[in-house]
Amino acid sequence: MPSPTPGFILEARNVRKAYAQHIALDDVSLAVPEQSIFGLLGPNGAGKTSLIRIITQITAADSGEIRFRGDRLNPSHISQIGYLPEERGLYKKMKVGEQLLYLAQLRGLSRPDAVQRIKQWLERFELKGWADKEVENLSKGMQQKVQFIATVLHEPRLIILDEPFSGFDPINANLLKDEILRLRQEGATIIFSTHRMESVEEMCDSIALINRAHKVLDGTVRDIRNQFKTNTYEVEGVGRLLVAHPDFEVIEQKERESNHFYARIQLHAGTTPNDLLRFLIGQVQVQAFREQIPSINEIFIRRVRETMPETLQEEVA
Amino acid sequence: MASKFLLVAQREYLTRVRKRAFIILTVLVPLLVVGFGLFVGKIAQSDETTEIVDVRDESGLNIARRLVSTPQLQFLPVGGTLAEAKRSFQQQQHAGLLYLPVGLSENDPQGVQFFGKGNISLGKESRVSTALTNAFAELKMQKSGLTQVQLDQLRAKVPLNSVSVDETGKEKDSNSGVTTGIASVLAVLIYFFIFLYGVQIMRGVGEEKSSRIMEVMLSSVKPFDLMMGKIVGVAAVGLTQFLLWGVLSWGASSIVLPLVMGPDKPAKTEVAAAPASGGSSVGTSSTTASPIAGAAAASAEQMNPAKRAGVVGSLFDMIGKLNIPIGTIVFGFIVYFLGGYLLYGALFGAVGAAVDDQTDTQQFMFPITMPLILSYIVGFSVILRNPDGPVAFWMSMIPFTSPVAMVIRLPFGVPAWQLALSMFLLVLGFIGTVWVAARIYRVGILMYGKKVTYKELSKWMFYKG
């Protein structure tokens, strides 16, 4: 019996799920730290939604186990999880207030509590006057706000958002981001699931990359970047750059107008950026100097290329 | 979780009951019933008016006096020439003129003529013909030496008293008309209830599917609770609607009809107000109706209120007196009503879950509705005529047909072991279909953009959680 790891709200261990035609998840293990924003990333069809449906208990894993705050996942956890699926919908003929009340009660919230919170949330999302309107009379943006409210009304400890920003206009997307950060501040853990990795990169504390039913990578965003960084620096400046030095290697160099240049220089082991700077200062006028940090998207592509090169083209297309 | 199931059922109920369509339909149908009642009443009225046929009898055989008048047809001997008689029956708006010429032979009556306004209906012609034939028969019998007293005795009707004998040899009064009536009403109720509200379940599931709210729901509620909540919620809607229809129809007709029909039919109010007295005997046309029968009679249109009230009153009486097992019928009706509805409701729900598009439901609807339609048709054509035959037996055992078939048999009396076996099988069938439906439902509600085949459906049965 494995003991619960402290500090993780959710742990998946060796989860496997197969459908009639294909394997959706193959031996996937991951751990989501408490009070963090966790990105579940991967291309379409990688198995993200299958994993989420297991966590939300819509389906069950064939083997492996899920632990929620140390306990084996069971129906009593439903009230502690909020889920905004990619396929979101509402009862079109139902009034906004009644609908939220219904969904909150299904999540175990008492009626008076629900009524109170619905009022607060509608005010916060500027939907105050809409409680008695039927959902079909709302604009799409408003409906998405209502859906988000329905997801978080019961104050879940774990909030799972599947492609949360798809279909949101920039203003509402920012509103949503602010709310998500606030919810984490108040103690909730958020799992983002998306195939658009760049959209959540800046918000995530940790991530897991899934491809073709397998987890290919996980960890904190900082660790992963450090792990994948190549000690490459971008330099821009004025002058003629001539590098013939055993500690550095120029990967790319571009001459620009009026004696300007751009270069990417990789440091060899044991060399610090300061060594490079010192060398450069003696040669040219440095205008910009920064470490080249790989994006999660680049890391993903690189990682997939390493593990299964032959499938890369179609995967990341 | 029971509370979630109740929440789902409650939502299904409230959203439907508050719909404008529900309210309109609930109010409209009783009005239609009343309107239809009025219409039928008027027709019955026009049909039941007494028609007068003038008789010009020149035969010297005194036939005119022997023609027996009925409530529909009254014979009126007239004088004058044929031409005068022809003119006068038209002037007086009488229905026709029967002309018996001079020298009519009683043994070979030729040359009798019937003049009518416009075309003469077959019914009128046959009534006149019957009256004539009887008159001639009587005439001949009298000539052969029978006295008037003997003739009266000959004319006496023989009352047929039907007695039903059950397995134990107990004899009871029987009235196949009433029994058939009850059986038909119960079967129609079950049939329409299953159809009307089964389709609502299917639509409801389809709406949830197309609005894409399923996944949100499923992360809170088990598919089984979701399905059963919907089935039970819709059933409650149906029961509410039926109840309201009954109450409103009764209320509307007891208010509207006396107002409409009352003034020109004073007899009616008299009947409705007639004091309650005990049981009236079958077929009497007295006013010995109970108040409820009086009200029912008031609601039930008719030209001939006294008679109608008597019939309705006696109907209530008869049900009490006959061997119609009311306790068993009520109990059985509830069991088959609910059992049949749940069985079919689950299947309708599964169909709704299996398809994306409402138009695709047809291919799955057919095998589901076929046994129901079959039991309805066979029920009325075969079982009603032979409620104890082999067809009746087998159809009342198979869970898909028993809700209609057994309910038809109930008023005729069904052996206890058959009833018990049939109910047991119904419960088994119900559990079985709900199990199957729940599996199809569970997989189907999250399946989009796929044209589902039967082969596919059978695979869904065995998908793991």
> In the A/B pair of chains, how many CB contacts fall below 8 A?
64
Out of A83, A94, A105, the one facing B7 most closely (by C-beta) is: A105
Res B234: pLDDT = 92
Find out whether A296 and A229 touch, Cβ atoms under 8 Å. no
Res B306: pLDDT: 46
pLDDT at residue B184, rounded to an integer: 86
Interchain contact, A89 vs B1, CB within 8 Å: no
Torsion sign, CA atoms B35, B36, B39, B41: negative
Q: How far apart are CA B398 and CA B58, in angstroms?
A: 69
The shortest CB-CB distance from A89 to any of B11, B211, B459 is to: B211
Q: Chain A closest CA to B191's CA: distance in Å?
A: 29
Amino acid present at B34 = V
Question: Are A83 and B7 a contacting pair at CB < 8 A?
Answer: no
Alpha helices in B176-222 (DSSP H): 176-210, 214-218
Tell me the CATH number for domain A8-225: 3.40.50.300
Residue B15 to residue A56, Cβ atoms within 8 A: no
Are the beta carbons of B464 and A102 separated by less than 8 Å?
no
Q: Is B144 on the interface with A (CB under 8 A)?
A: no
Q: Which of A87, A93, A107 sits opposite B212 (nearest CB)?
A: A87
Answer yes or no: is pLDDT of A3 > 70: no
Mean pLDDT, all residues of chain A: 86
Which has the minimum average pLDDT: A203-212, A256-265, B57-66, B206-215? B57-66
For residue B95, give the nearest of B66, B75, B79 by alpha carbon. B75
pLDDT, residue B97, reads 86
Dmax (CA) of chain B: 98
Contact B211 A150 (CB under 8 A): no
Report the pLDDT value the prediction gives residue A203, as an integer from 0 to 100.
86
pLDDT of B279 reads 36
pLDDT in tens, chain B (465 residues): 468 889 999 999 998 998 888 888 888 888 887 788 778 777 766 666 677 888 888 887 778 777 877 777 888 888 888 888 888 888 887 888 888 888 777 777 788 888 887 777 777 788 888 888 888 888 888 888 877 777 777 766 666 666 666 555 555 555 667 778 888 888 888 898 888 888 889 988 888 888 888 888 888 888 888 889 999 999 999 889 888 888 888 887 777 666 665 544 443 333 333 333 333 333 333 333 333 333 344 444 444 444 444 444 555 555 555 566 778 888 888 899 889 999 999 999 888 888 877 677 777 888 888 998 998 898 888 888 888 888 889 998 999 999 999 988 888 888 889 999 999 999 999 889 888 888 888 888 877 766 677 777 777 776 655
What confidence score (pLDDT) does residue B167 get?
A: 54
Looking at residue A184, its pLDDT comes to 92
For the packed helices B402-409 and B416-444, what is the interaxial angle rounded to 10 degrees?
160
Residue B39 near residue B300, CB atoms below 8 Å: no
Distance, in Å, from the CA atom of B402 to the CA atom of A204, rounded to the nearest integer, reads: 61
Q: Which residues from chain A sit within 8 angstroms of residue B4, using beta carbons?
A: 106
State how far residue A261 is from chain B, nearest Cα, in angstroms. Answer: 54
User: Angle CA(A63)–CA(A68)–CA(A69) in degrees, nearest 5?
Assistant: 140
CB–CB contact B218 A92 (8 Å)? no
Taking the C-alpha atoms of residue B175 and residue B163, their distance in angstroms, rounded to an integer, is 8
Quick one: B417 exposed, middle or buried, by C-beta within 10 A (0-12, 13-18, 19+)?
A: exposed
Determine the residue of chain B that is closest to A55 in CA distance. Answer: B219
Mutate to test the interface with A, among B11, B214, B216 (most CBs of A within 10 A): B216
On the question of pLDDT at A228 being above 80, the answer is yes
List CB contacts (< 8 A) between B464 and chain A: 60, 62
Does A103 contact B220 at a Cβ distance shorter than 8 Å?
yes
Q: What is the pTM of this model?
A: 0.70
List of chain A residues whose C-beta atoms are within 8 Å of the C-beta of residue B221: 106
What's the pLDDT score for residue B280?
Answer: 36
Residue range(s) of every CATH 3.40.190.10 domain in chain B = 50-146
* A165: closest CA of chain B, how far (Å): 17
Tell me the pLDDT tens digit for each residue of A273-287: 898 888 888 888 999
Shortest distance, CA B224 to any CA of chain A (angstroms)? 12
* ipTM higher than the 0.85 cut: no
- Contact B7/A102, CB-based, under 8 Å? yes
Q: How many CB atoms sit inside 10 A of residue A174's CB? A: 12
Scanning the structure block, which residue is given the tokens 């306990």?
A71
The full set of domain ranges for chain A reads 8-225, 230-291
- Whether residue A75 and residue B214 make contact (CB cut-off 8 A), yes or no, is no
Contact A83 B221 (CB under 8 A): no
Return the CATH number of the domain spanning residue range B50-146.
Answer: 3.40.190.10
- Cβ within 8 Å, pair A94-B215: no
